[in-house]
Structures are given as structure tokens and as C-alpha cells.
């Protein structure tokens, strides 16, 4: 019995040892506020996307730092900073001095939360999410890849424009940060000479909260809470006085109006078609090519995902036809059979490395989608390069417009060619990834990823090879997953690069180079 007690002692010891090597499971990217690599003093001159010129938006002339009004604000800041609760301090550390990244993360989290495909009703029909009744069921939105790409594009464009306008006024008024006016204020982040009026943080908070509330209407309360926490952190961190924040809010509000206006007329409302329209699209392809894609789920979904997303207004590409590739190989042709045989081979002899790649890039239902994955890469590259919020927003804006354009181009191609999936053309074929509810050619992962990689390669040339290699891996992952042919992936990569080049060309001419 004594031996047993020793044995149990060892077992408990083992428990503690094992417990101590538990990996962390953080809920956000852990980084600290950093000193900006550059301040981009001329950022107010950069070309905006929605705003025609910064002076289109007016903010009041700020009070001088010597004024009684400003001194009163300073005292209020000092008073608040002296009595921070632990949760307020935590909020200051969380938001950092580059809150573009946090709002981007919040957007990704909501994408993952809402990326759930509606299931069938008891009678075998499907109900689509309805923005007029967001509670549902099913709740609105279904944040699938096209939806998420568009959500991120509007968010990033609005953030970028708001910051260009903010920068314009920052360097027009040149009001220093509170801690430069009063050295008894110790800022929570690296000190910087970026003028504090209007607050860039407040501008970001306003556009982000508003755009995300439009995209995720059921999250209004959650977003308001984040917004208030963010605004409070700007004062608690000692980087803004309240009038900086008010001016930032004004800019944000005006930019949001322009973004909402564009979003309401960009064609997204018509992207998810009724069945007769969907059928006529399928039949047009069948008459043109002799094949058509079909949903293979039980019960069958009557309409594919957003058949008319290909008609949604693009950001950087004048017409979708100019980035539409030629047709895929005819099913049954030699070229087709070669690629189909390859899929059978992968499925029957899957290596661990192939399985990992398939899963690593799956970004499927319940995740932040491939656009989300590229936003995560961008975020990490931005922190590594210590970019300021304006330059960060610029990268997100070009990348996310490129990614959405890639989605539009890809969806145009998908429904133009209406090409069947491997589970339709290969008898008895089983896959390790779920087959999505839209045609195969071209691969969405490939086009999204190649477009994202091209833009990131432009902004981070020393990592260009890595980004492009990732895009290639994302593309081939769909072959390992059994849901795309090689030609879907290869042409998708070419299409994505092509689309991405439009964004890069635009970025080269926006005055920021």
C-alpha cells in the first residue's frame, strides 16, 4: 500500500507537470504599443478613396494649448489618469496606439461568429438571412467569404479616408499631445510628435463602430461598448484631450456617410438571387458550355451562394470582364482527366503534410474566411514594421479592396462558367473538406490569396516571396481538400495576381510612396 501512495503521488505530480506546459489560447494578438517608424507628416495629402478632398469635411479650429478651455481639459485628463481602475488600465494596454489593428480584429471575430450557413427547415426548404429581420432565424448576416471581403473593404477604406482627413488637420493645426504640453502627464505609449487634434483614435473608433454596425446589425450593443471603451482609453492613455476626440468623431461620422452611400448602391443587395434568376444563370452556362454546377447537399440548396456577387461594384478594376479568364477544360477531356486523377491520388494517399495544408488554409464555415486570414498576416507585418495607424490603414485599404475585387472577379467567373465540383464529376468521391455552395472555377481561396499576397508583397518587399508562397499554398490546399481541380487553383492565382496589380498601381500613385 505504501508503494501505491507513492505511485499516486507521482500521478499528481504528473498532472501538475502537464498542466504547466499548457499553451496559451489568447483572444487577440498580443503586442504592445510601439514607437512609429514614421509619422507621415504629409499623410493629409494622400489620395483618398471615398472622400474627394480632406477639406470636404470641416472640423472646428482647436483652442490654443494656452487657453483656459484647453487647460481645463488637461486637468480633466490628469484627474482621470490618476484614478484608473485595473480594467481601464487593461483597456489602455489592449487598444494600443494603433487601434486600427484592434478594430480589424473585432471585424474578424464578428466574421467568424456570423460565418454560419443556414441549415434547412423541417420541410426541407431553406430560409435566407434577411437584413430586414436580422434576428431571424437565420440571423443576419451569413458572413461568407464574399460578404466578409466586402465588409473588410468598407471598414478599411473608411478607416483610411478618415485618417487621411485627420492627418490633414493634424498638420494644419499642429496641436501637440497632452503629454508634450504638460510633462506631468505620462503617456501609456511611446511618445510621439504626431499632433493630437483631431484624434486619429476617435476617427478610427467612429468609422469602425458605424461600418461594423451596418455589417453586423445584431452587434450594435457590443460595438457601442467597444467604442466607448476605446474612446475612454484615449484619455486614460494620456494621448488625447476630449476636444481632440470630438473632432475625430466628426471626421469619422462624415466618412461613414460616404461609405454607407456607396455600400447601399454597390449591387450587394441583389447578389443573392431568387431561384428563377439562379436557374437562368445556370442554364445560360449549360447552353454555352454543356455543363452546369449543382449543389450536392441534402436537401439540395436551391440557389448557390451570391450568384450575382460578380456584378458588385469593384474598387480598383474598371470592368469585371477584363479580369475574367478563359474557359476551364471540358469535363472528360484529357486535360480534365489528368487533374481529376490527381485529386483521386491525393484523396487515397493523403500525407500528413498535405492534410495540414488543407486544414491550415481551410478558413471555412465558422472561421474568419480567407480574407480574414490575409488580414491577420497584414496585422502581423504591420506590427513588425512598426507602422503608424495611417500607414496601417492604407495597407488594409488597398489589400481589402483588392481582396474584394478578387472575390467579385472570381464570382463572376464562377457563375459565368458554372463549373461542377469534383464531388459531382468523380463518382463516389469523398473529401476531407466540405464542398462549398458555389461553382468550382476559379478557386476563391486562390484569387483572394493571390490578390492579398500581391498587395502585401508591394508594401513589404522583403517578405514578398513569403506572401506569394503562402498564396500558392492556399491555392494547392484546395486540391488536397478535394474540392478544387488544379486548373481552378492555377487560374485563380493568375486572376488574383491580375486583380491585385490594379490595387498596387493605384497605391503607387496615391502620393504616399
* Binding region for other proteins (CB under 8 A): 1, 4, 7-8, 11, 14-15, 18, 22-29, 105, 108-109, 112-113, 116-120, 137-138, 296-299, 347, 352, 355-356, 359-360, 362-363, 365-368, 372-373, 376, 423, 429-435, 482
Q: Where are the alpha helices (DSSP H) in 265-297?
A: 275-289
Min separation Cβ 299 and other proteins, Å: 7
Burial 193-232 (b: 16+ CB within 10 A, else e): ebbbbbbbbbbbbbbbbbbbbbbbebbeebbeebbebbbb
Min separation Cβ 373 and other proteins, Å: 8
Min separation Cβ 463 and other proteins, Å: 18
Min separation Cβ 368 and other proteins, Å: 7
Whose Cβ is closer to other proteins: residue 24's or residue 287's?
Answer: 24
**Other beta carbons within 10 Å of 400:** 33
Whose Cβ is closer to other proteins: residue 20's or residue 513's?
Answer: 20
Angle subtended by helix axes 145-173 and 389-417, to nearest 10: 150
Whose Cβ is closer to other proteins: residue 443's or residue 477's?
Answer: 477
Whose Cβ is closer to other proteins: residue 29's or residue 289's?
Answer: 29
Whose Cβ is closer to other proteins: residue 7's or residue 83's?
Answer: 7
**Other beta carbons within 10 Å of 81:** 20
Min separation Cβ 48 and other proteins, Å: 30
Whose Cβ is closer to other proteins: residue 266's or residue 362's?
Answer: 362
Min separation Cβ 15 and other proteins, Å: 5
Min separation Cβ 149 and other proteins, Å: 17
Whose Cβ is closer to other proteins: residue 100's or residue 241's?
Answer: 100
Whole-angstrom CA distances from 335 to 193, 342, 343, 412, 492 are 61, 11, 13, 23, 17
Cβ–Cβ < 8 Å for 380, 505: no
**Other beta carbons within 10 Å of 488:** 30
Phi-psi region of 250 (alpha: psi -120 to 50; beta: other; left: phi over 0): alpha
Phi-psi region of 29 (alpha: psi -120 to 50; beta: other; left: phi over 0): beta
Amino acid at each position: 500500500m505504501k508503494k501505491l501512495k507513492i505511485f499516486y503521488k507521482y500521478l499528481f505530480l504528473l498532472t501538475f507537470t502537464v498542466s504547466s506546459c499548457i499553451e496559451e489560447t489568447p483572444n487577440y494578438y498580443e503586442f504592445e504599443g510601439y514607437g512609429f517608424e514614421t509619422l507621415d507628416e504629409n499623410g493629409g495629402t494622400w489620395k483618398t478613396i471615398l472622400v474627394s478632398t480632406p477639406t470636404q469635411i470641416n472640423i472646428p479650429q482647436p483652442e490654443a494649448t494656452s487657453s483656459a478651455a484647453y487647460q481645463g481639459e488637461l486637468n480633466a485628463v490628469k484627474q482621470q489618469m490618476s484614478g484608473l481602475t485595473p480594467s481601464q488600465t487593461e483597456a489602455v494596454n489592449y487598444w494600443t496606439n494603433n487601434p486600427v489593428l484592434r478594430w480589424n480584429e473585432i471585424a474578424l471575430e464578428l466574421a467568424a461568429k456570423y460565418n454560419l450557413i443556414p441549415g434547412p427547415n423541417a420541410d426541407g426548404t431553406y430560409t435566407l438571412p434577411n437584413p430586414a429581420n436580422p434576428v431571424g432565424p437565420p440571423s443576419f448576416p451569413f458572413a461568407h467569404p464574399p460578404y466578409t471581403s466586402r465588409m473588410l473593404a468598407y471598414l478599411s477604406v473608411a478607416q483610411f479616408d478618415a485618417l487621411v482627413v485627420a492627418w490633414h488637420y493634424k498638420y494644419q493645426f499642429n496641436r501637440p499631445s497632452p503629454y508634450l504640453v504638460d510633462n506631468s502627464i505620462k503617456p501609456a505609449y511611446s511618445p510621439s510628435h504626431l499632433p493630437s487634434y483631431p484624434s486619429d483614435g476617435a476617427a478610427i473608433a467612429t468609422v469602425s463602430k458605424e461600418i461594423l454596425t451596418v455589417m453586423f446589425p445584431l452587434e450594435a450593443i457590443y460595438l457601442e461598448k467597444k467604442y466607448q471603451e476605446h474612446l475612454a482609453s484615449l484619455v486614460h492613455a494620456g494621448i488625447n484631450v476630449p476636444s481632440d476626440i470630438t473632432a475625430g468623431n466628426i471626421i469619422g461620422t462624415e466618412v461613414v456617410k460616404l461609405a454607407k452611400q456607396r455600400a447601399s448602391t454597390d449591387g450587394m443587395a441583389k447578389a443573392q438571387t431568387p431561384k428563377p434568376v439562379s436557374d437562368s444563370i445556370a442554364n445560360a452556362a449549360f447552353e454555352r458550355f454543356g455543363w452546369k454546377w449543382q449543389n450536392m447537399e441534402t436537401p439540395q440548396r436551391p440557389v448557390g451562394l451570391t450568384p450575382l456577387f460578380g456584378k458588385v461594384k469593384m474598387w480598383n478594376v474598371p470592368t469585371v470582364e477584363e479580369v475574367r479568364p478563359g474557359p476551364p477544360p471540358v469535363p472528360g477531356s484529357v486535360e480534365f482527366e489528368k487533374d481529376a486523377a490527381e485529386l483521386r491520388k491525393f484523396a487515397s494517399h493523403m500525407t500528413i503534410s498535405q492534410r495540414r495544408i488543407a486544414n491550415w488554409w481551410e478558413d471555412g464555415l465558422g472561421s474568419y474566411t480567407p480574407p480574414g486570414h490575409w488580414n491577420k498576416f497584414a496585422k502581423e507585418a504591420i506590427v513588425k514594421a512598426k507602422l503608424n495607424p495611417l500607414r496601417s490603414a492604407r495597407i488594409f485599404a488597398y489589400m481589402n479592396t483588392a481582396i474584394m475585387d478578387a472575390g467579385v472577379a472570381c464570382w463572376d467567373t464562377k457563375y459565368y462558367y458554372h463549373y461542377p465540383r469534383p464531388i459531382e464529376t468523380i463518382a463516389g468521391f469523398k473529401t476531407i473538406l466540405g464542398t462549398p455552395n458555389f461553382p468550382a472555377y476559379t478557386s476563391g481561396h486562390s484569387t483572394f490569396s493571390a490578390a492579398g499576397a500581391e498587395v502585401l508583397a508591394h508594401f513589404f518587399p522583403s517578405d514578398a516571396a513569403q506572401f506569394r508562397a503562402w498564396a500558392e499554398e492556399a491555392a494547392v490546399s484546395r486540391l488536397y481538400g478535394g474540392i478544387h481541380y488544379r486548373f481552378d487553383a492555377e487560374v485563380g492565382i493568375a486572376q488574383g495576381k491580375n486583380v491585385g496589380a490594379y490595387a498596387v498601381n493605384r497605391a503607387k500613385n496615391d502620393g504616399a510612396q
